[in-house]
Amino acid sequence: MKRLAVLFAVLAVAVAAVILMLPRGPEGGDKGAERPIILGFSQLGSESGWRIGNTRSVITAAQRAGVQLMFKNAEQKQENQIDAIRSFIAYQVDVIAFAPIVEDGWDNVLREAKDAGIPVICSDRSVILEDDSLITGFVGSDFYLEGVRAGEYLLKKMADAPGPVRIAEISGTIDSTPMRYRALGFRDIIKDDPLFEIVYSQSGDFLRSRGKEVMEDILITAGPVDVLYSHNDSMTLGAIETIEQKGLNPGKDMVIISVDGEQGAIDLLKQGKINCVVECTPMLCDMIMDLAQRLARGETIDRITYSEETVFSDFDPDVLSIPPRWY
C-alpha cells in the first residue's frame, strides 16, 4: 500500500506539472517579450525510488528555471516514449529530453525531431544510433565508472579471502545503458584475478519485485554465494527480503554491493545489511534545464555531461553520518 501511495503521489505531481504548462503565444505577439522555453520530457517509468526522485527533480528544476514543461511518463514501454516524442514534435517544443528505456530503436523518431529542428538530450541513459548527430547531448552518470567502483570495493573487501569468491549478479533491464556498463566496468576490474567468479547473472529489470524473485532463484540454483552485486537499490532491497526470509544475514553471510544511493539502501548500509552503495544520483535536472536553455538560444553544448558521485561503504568510519536522502 505504501508503494501505491508513493506512485499515486508521483502521478499527481506529474499531472500538476502538465497543468502548469502554458501554451505558446501567437506568432504575431510582442516580439520584444521573451517567453519561457518549452521542454518536452519523456520519463521511462516509475520503477524505483531513484526514478521517482528523478521525476521530482525534473519538475522542480523546471519550476526553478522558469521552463515550461511537457512531461509524459512512458510506464516502462518504449512505444509510449516514441509516441511522447512525436507529440512534442507536433507541439513544436524548443527542446526534447528523454530517459530511454533501452538503447536501440530510436533512429526514426529522433530523425523526425532533427528534421523539425528540435535538439534532443538523453537523460540518465544513452542510445545507439546510426547517426550520432540525432542526439545533441547526454546528461547522466558514468555507468562504467560505477561498475569499476563496485569492483574496486570488492577487491579491497575480499583482499584476504582464503578461497574462491562466488559472485551472483542481478543486472538491470536488458539492453539498457546502465545494465551494459555497470556489468562491463565490474568485470574489467575483477577479470584478471582468479579468486573471483561470477556464477550467476540474471536481469531483475530494476524492479524490487524482480530482485526478490531473482534472489530466490540464486539461492536455489547457484548454491552458496559470497557476494551479491545488484545494479540498483530497488532490486537490492527485494533481494535482501529473500535473503532474510531464508534465515541468512545480509552483509555478513553475503557481501552486498548495490548501486544508486536511495534512502532505503543507505539505511541498510548503516545497519550493516548492505556493505557498499555506489552512488548514482537522480538529481540531474538543473543541468538539463541549463543545457536546454542554452540550446534554445542557439548555443552549442558538450556532447557528454556527467554528474559528480561518490561511494558509501563499510570502510567509511563516518558511514552513520551520511545525510538523509529524499529519494
pLDDT level of residue 264 (50, 70, 90 thresholds): very high
Q: What is the DSSP letter of 191?
A: T
User: What does pTM read for this prediction?
Assistant: 0.85
Region 286-296: mean pLDDT is: 97
Burial classification of residue 185, based on how many CB atoms lie within 10 Å of its CB (0-12 exposed, 13-18 middle, 19 or more buried): buried
Contact 220, 246 (CB under 8 A): no
Fold of 2-140+282-296: Rossmann fold (3.40.50)
Predicted pLDDT at 324? 87
Residue-wise pLDDT tens digits, 145-196: 999 999 999 999 999 998 899 999 999 999 899 999 999 999 999 999 999 9
Average pLDDT over residues 32-60: 90
Q: What is the pLDDT of residue 223?
A: 86
CA distances, 315 to each of 54, 56, 154, 228, 255 (Å): 28, 31, 11, 18, 13
CATH 3.40.50.2300-classified regions of the chain: 2-140+282-296, 143-280+312-321
How far apart CA 162 and CA 97 sit, in angstroms, is 49
Does the pLDDT of residue 26 top 50, yes or no? no
Confidence bin at 35 (pLDDT 50/70/90): confident
Instruction: Show the cell assigned to 119.
Output: 535538439
pLDDT band per the 50, 70, 90 thresholds, residue 10: very low
Is the model's pLDDT at 255 over the cut of 80? yes
The closest of 271, 250, 262 to 314, measured between CA atoms, is 271
Confidence (pLDDT) at 325: 82
- Cell 537523460 belongs to which residue? 123
- Contact between 121 and 139 under an 8 Å Cβ cutoff? The reply is yes
Taking only Cα atoms into account, the Rg of the chain, rounded to an integer number of angstroms, comes to: 21
CATH topology of domain 143-280+312-321: Rossmann fold (3.40.50)
Average pLDDT over residues 52-75: 97
